[in-house]
Amino acid sequence: MFCAPNLPGDNAKNMKIILLLLSLLVVPALAQSKPTADLIVTNAKVWTVDHKQPTAEAIAVLADRIIAVGSRADIDALRGPNTNVIDAGGKLLLPGFNDAHVHFVDGGMQLDAVQLNDAASAEEFTRRIAEQAKKTPKGAWVLGGDWDETKWTPAKLPTKELIDPFTADIPVFVSRYDGHMSLANSLALRLAGITAQTPDPPGGVIVRDAQGNPTGALKDAAIELMDKAIPPPTHEQRLNAARRALAYAASLGVTSVQHMNPDYADIAVYSELLRHGELTTRIYAAPLITEGVDDQVKIGITHAFGSSYLRIGAVKAYADGSLGSRTAYFFESYSDQPENRGLLGAEMQPLTLMRERMLKADAAGIQLCTHAIGDQAISMVLDLYHDVVRTNRGTEHRFRIEHAQHVAEKDFDRFAQMDVIASVQPYHAIDDGRWAEARIGHDRASRTYAFRTFLNHGVHLAFGTDWDVAPLNPMLTVYAAVTRATLDGKNPNGWIPEQKLSVAEAVEAYTMGSAYAEFQEKEKGSISPGKLADMVILSDDIFSIEPTRIREVKVLKTFVGGKVVWDGERNQSSH
C-alpha cells in the first residue's frame, strides 16, 4: 500500500503522512518494543535432543511453539507483563516422550479391568477373576487381564477349569499380556460356538486336552473366533477409556502416541475429543491394513494427514505372533520345541495378497507399519518392502517394522539400506529376557532386542511400549534400554549387555526417533525454536543418577503445545 519510493512531488509532506499512518499502524507493536513470550521456563537443565544446541537453561514459548532456547539471560529478554514464568528449580527438562506403539483405548479400558499381570500364582489368577465376576453386571464380560503364567510355579498354561466354578453365568475371555493368547471360560466358548469339532483356523490354535476338548486357551488367529460373541464397546465406554488414557499419559510425560490397529470407532472418539479441546496427547492412528487400506486410499489421504493433534495415513499389518506364545516365526525351530518354528500370520497367507495390499497402500502414500518378531517373519517383511521399493520408486516410504525383535545377521543392513524404521519396545527385553534364551538359544538371543546393533548399522530407532501389553511409563522403557536388567533380578549387569544404550541414545529414540517414525521430526521431537512446545520436567536428572534409579523418576510437569497438562505438585497437594 505505501510505496514511498514511487511517490512523486512533495516528498517531505508525503513522507510525514506516511510516517504518521505507519505509526498508527504499528503503535501496538512499538508499545511493547520487543516480542514477548507467553511462557518462559527458566532455571532448567534443558536437554534439547537438538545437536545444534544440546543443552540450555531456559526456553520461551509463544502460543503453542517454542520461540527461543538459550541462557537464562537470553530468555529473560523475552519476558513481558503477561508472560507466565515457571522456575524449574534446576530440574531436567526434556522434549515430551512420543510412544511409537500403543493400543491407547485398550490401555484406557485396562485401567478399569481385572489386573492379572502381577498375579503370581494360578490361585491368585482365579481369585481375581472370581472377584471381578462378582462386580460384573449380567450380560457384560470379564475381559482384559494380561496374565503371565511364566510368573507361576509351575509355569503352566491356565485352563477354563480354574475359573468355571466362579463364573457360571458371566462370560470370561482374559488375554495373555502379549495379546497372542487368551483364556475363555466354558460359557464364553459356548457363546462363540467353539467345540471339540471346531477346526484350528489358519494362523491360530485352539489348545486342546488329551481328549481333544478345548481347554479354553486360544492362540493368535483362534482368538478371533471369540470376536463375534463379545459385544463391541459402546461409544461411551470408548470415550471414557480414551479420557482415562489421556490423563494417564499426561501424568507420565507422554505427549504423543502412535496408536497401532485402532478401531475406526476409536478414531471417531479422538476426533470428538479434539473438537472439544480435550486431546492432551497428540495421536497418530494406524488402522489394520486389512480394513484400512482401501478406505484410506479411496479418500486420497497420505501419511501423517491431519492436524498436530490427530493424524492418520498409516496402516498396521501383522506378519507373525509373539515369542511368549511361541508363535513368532523363525528360520529355525524353537530351542525347546524342535517341531515348532512358530506361525506365519494369517495376513501373510498367501504372500501375494499381502504384497498387493502393501503395494496399494505405499503407492497411495500411506505408511506401512508391520508387526514382525521372529527372524524369518522380519526377513519376509523386508523382502516385501524390497518389492514395494522396486515397484513404487521416488516416494519416501519410511517403512516400519513393529517390534523387530529377533533379527537375522544379514538383515540389519537391509533395515539401513531401505531406511526401515525399527519401532521397538525396550521393556519387552527386560520382561522376555527372563526366559527368551531358553526358547531360542544364545546365538539368536545375541541379536534379540538388538538396539545397539541397529544404531551401529545406522538404522532409525523409534521407542515405544506396546501399552497395554507393557507399562506406558517412559521411565521404565529408558531404564530397560539402559540397564537391560531383567525383571527377575537375575541379570543386574544387563541381559546381552553389549546391546545396552546410553541415556542420551534412549531419550533420542523416544523423542526424535519416534517423531521421525511418524514424519513429524520437523514439528516435534526436540526442544528447538519453531517446534511444538511439548516438554516434560523430571524429578531427577536421569543422565547423572544411578541407572537403576531411573525407574523411580517421576514427571513433575508435562506441557503439550505450551500448556501444562500435568502438574505433579498440584496433583499431590490436591490428594
Residues near Zn ion (CB under 5 A): 466
HEC string for 276-329: CCCCCCEEEEECEHHHHHHHHHHHCCCCCEECCCEEECEEEEECECCCCCCCCC
Residue among 266 and 567 whose Cβ is closer to Zn ion = 266
The least distance separating Zn ion from the CB of residue 99, rounded to whole angstroms, comes to 11
Residue among 344 and 424 whose Cβ is closer to Zn ion = 424
Side-chain-side CA neighbours of residue 46 (13 Å): 30
Residue among 362 and 466 whose Cβ is closer to Zn ion = 466
Angle in degrees, 0-180, between the axes of helices 351-363 and 289-299, rounded to the nearest 10? 30
The least distance separating Zn ion from the CB of residue 178, rounded to whole angstroms, comes to 9
Q: Which residues on neighbouring strands pair with residue 284, listed in sequence order?
A: 258, 311
3-state secondary structure of 502: coil
Burial class (CB in 10 A: 0-12, 13-18, 19+), 416: middle
Which residue has the closest beta carbon to Zn ion? Answer: 466
Residue among 263 and 466 whose Cβ is closer to Zn ion = 466
Residue among 220 and 466 whose Cβ is closer to Zn ion = 466
How far apart CA 122 and CA 117 sit, in angstroms, is: 12
Question: Please, are residues 271 and 239 in contact by the beta-carbon 8 Å criterion?
Answer: no
3-state secondary structure of 230: coil
The least distance separating Zn ion from the CB of residue 500, rounded to whole angstroms, comes to 24
The least distance separating Zn ion from the CB of residue 567, rounded to whole angstroms, comes to 30
The residue ranges of DSSP E strands in 348-496, in sequence order, are 367-372, 400-403, 421-424, 461-463
How far apart CA 22 and CA 122 sit, in angstroms, is: 80
Grid coordinates belonging to 182:
487368551
- Measure CA 296 to chain center: 21
The least distance separating Zn ion from the CB of residue 319, rounded to whole angstroms, comes to 13
- Sole residue written with cell 476426533: 271
Residue among 68 and 372 whose Cβ is closer to Zn ion = 372
The least distance separating Zn ion from the CB of residue 100, rounded to whole angstroms, comes to 10
How far apart CA 204 and CA 349 sit, in angstroms, is: 12
* CB neighbour list of residue 459: distance below 8 Å, 6 or more residues apart: 412, 415, 416, 420, 421, 422
The least distance separating Zn ion from the CB of residue 188, rounded to whole angstroms, comes to 23
The least distance separating Zn ion from the CB of residue 250, rounded to whole angstroms, comes to 21
Residue among 466 and 518 whose Cβ is closer to Zn ion = 466
The least distance separating Zn ion from the CB of residue 193, rounded to whole angstroms, comes to 28
How far apart CA 558 and CA 94 sit, in angstroms, is: 10
How far apart CA 7 and CA 62 sit, in angstroms, is: 38
Residue among 477 and 558 whose Cβ is closer to Zn ion = 477
Residue among 144 and 365 whose Cβ is closer to Zn ion = 144
Residue among 321 and 561 whose Cβ is closer to Zn ion = 321
The least distance separating Zn ion from the CB of residue 559, rounded to whole angstroms, comes to 27
| Omega cis (within 30) before 320 | no
